[in-house]
Amino acid sequence: MKLAILPGDGIGTEIVAQAVRVLQALDLKFEMEEAKVGGAAYEAFGHPLPDATLNLAKSADAILFGAAGDWKYDTLDRPLRPEQAILGLRKHLGLFANLRPAICYEQLTHASSLKPELVAGLDILIIRELTGDIYFGQPRGRRTATDGHFPGALEAFDTMRYSVPEIERIGHVAFQAAQKRSKKVCSVDKANVLETFQLWKDVMTEVGKSYPDVQLSHMYVDNAAMQLVKAPKAFDVVVTGNMFGDILSDEASMLTGSIGMLPSASLDKANKGLYEPSHGSAPDIAGKGVANPLATILSAAMMLRYSLAQPEAAVRIEAAVQAVLAQGLRTPDIYSDGTTKVGTSQMGDAVVAALSTQG
């Protein structure tokens, strides 16, 4: 099993190092190769996604990714910004299915900004289409307006678009995921305003006919944003487009108390995937040894499950994470009175130790 290890920027290096230790503590054989990505790659090679990094990612069975981005690159031309690395990997590797679980761990119920009873036991799976929509739609750019409210003015434009097969394939991912869970899919759209999402809704309805055991509902994105904070436990699998999924997955992550806990998987049609924490590079705390490595460690567990066919190892990692939470160990982002504050590497130590004491 060949793994591409792409730590990236900010806290990426610290948290990926802990996930690598956890993988090495399993009785499995991995070949791991590391490469620079994002701002780190820009500094070293003048490009956020150098060919060598892309080729390594292509040749690997799975990719463990830390984070890309730092405010200090905000003034670079867009193609050179760190974020282009993750967008480029998604595009070049065809990683169209983004799985973002939002799970509220029992011990962290009180870390949520919502009332504990609203989030206790929360377990939502957001499935975000990742290679289409307004993120990648052409044409895009700047031009002089020839119509609209201010003809002659400089304007910028992007294109929201989805084709039927693009919607179908993410629909199948969602329905199949729901079959393994509570058999409910909520498709989020803006069909009341947007052509793109009227098509989305129509296609989801068609795809749903092949899954009579799964209950499909539709919801407008604005209402979904509201329902997510009103009654989040009413959701199970949520499927939506790239842009809405970006926004709703951040919202859902905070229901759980800490974005520092949430893993993600981005899969291609053969389940090869890129695994990364749902949080970003957090440059404000980078290098301080306080970042929470658990989202990355849990991403490694998802990698074992989805791309490496090692579900038992995935369960072991998840159980080890539960064990350290039960021991009361907390990085600052999830700390509360009565628990023990630890740093990034101590948290990694604890997970490795918990693995070694499993029966």
What minimum distance in Å lies between the beta carbon of 87 and ligand IPM?
6
Residue pair 312/302 in contact by the 8 Å Cβ criterion: no
Q: Out of 135, 162, 211, 306, pick the active-site residue.
A: 135
What minimum distance in Å lies between the beta carbon of 280 and ligand IPM?
6
Task: Please identify, among the stretches 82-90, 103-111, 319-327, 351-359, the one whose residues bind ligand IPM according to the rule CB under 6 A.
Answer: 82-90
CA distance 105 to 281: 23
Among 61, 123, 202, 246, binds ligand IPM (CB under 6 A): 246
Catalytic: 250?
Answer: yes
CA distances from 297 to 62, 68, 208, 218 (A): 14, 17, 34, 33
CA distance 21 to 348: 7
Does position 87 interact with ligand IPM (CB under 6 A)? The reply is yes
50 CA to centre of own chain = 22
CA distance 68 to 136: 18
Phi-psi region for residue 287, left (φ > 0), alpha (ψ -120 to 50) or beta?
A: left
Q: Out of 250, 268, 335, 349, pick the active-site residue.
A: 250
CB atoms inside a 10 Å sphere around CB 284: 9
Query: In terms of CB distance, is 88 or 208 closer to ligand IPM?
Result: 88
What minimum distance in Å lies between the beta carbon of 77 and ligand IPM?
16
Q: Out of 2, 72, 115, 222, pick the active-site residue.
A: 222
Q: Which of residues 118-137 bind ligand IPM (CB under 6 A)?
A: none
Catalytic: 135?
Answer: yes
What minimum distance in Å lies between the beta carbon of 276 and ligand IPM?
8
What minimum distance in Å lies between the beta carbon of 305 and ligand IPM?
20
Q: Out of 61, 123, 158, 246, pick the active-site residue.
A: 246
User: Nearest CA to 235 among 171, 186, 178, 180?
Assistant: 186
What's the one-letter identity of residue 96? F
Query: In terms of CB distance, is 22 or 87 closer to ligand IPM?
Result: 87
Does position 274 interact with ligand IPM (CB under 6 A)? The reply is no
Query: In terms of CB distance, is 100 or 330 closer to ligand IPM?
Result: 100
87 binds, among Mg ion, ligand IPM, none (CB under 5 to 8 A by kind): ligand IPM
- Number of residues binding to Mg ion, judged by CB under 5 A: 1
User: Nearest CA to 70 among 154, 11, 143, 136?
Assistant: 11
Rounded to a whole number of angstroms, the distance between the first and last alpha carbons of the chain is: 25
CA distance 68 to 49: 10
- Which residues, in sequence order, are CB contacts of 111 under 8 Å at separation 6+? 256, 257, 258, 334, 336
Does position 251 interact with Mg ion (CB under 5 A)? The reply is no
Among 32, 45, 61, 83, binds ligand IPM (CB under 6 A): 83
Catalytic: 133?
Answer: no
CA distance 357 to 187: 42
Does position 168 interact with ligand IPM (CB under 6 A)? The reply is no
What minimum distance in Å lies between the beta carbon of 134 and ligand IPM?
11
Does position 246 interact with Mg ion (CB under 5 A)? The reply is yes
Interface ranges with Mg ion (CB under 5 A): 246
For the annotated catalytic residues, the residue numbers are 135, 190, 222, 246, 250
Which residues of this protein are in contact with ligand IPM, per CB under 6 A? 69, 83, 86-87, 246
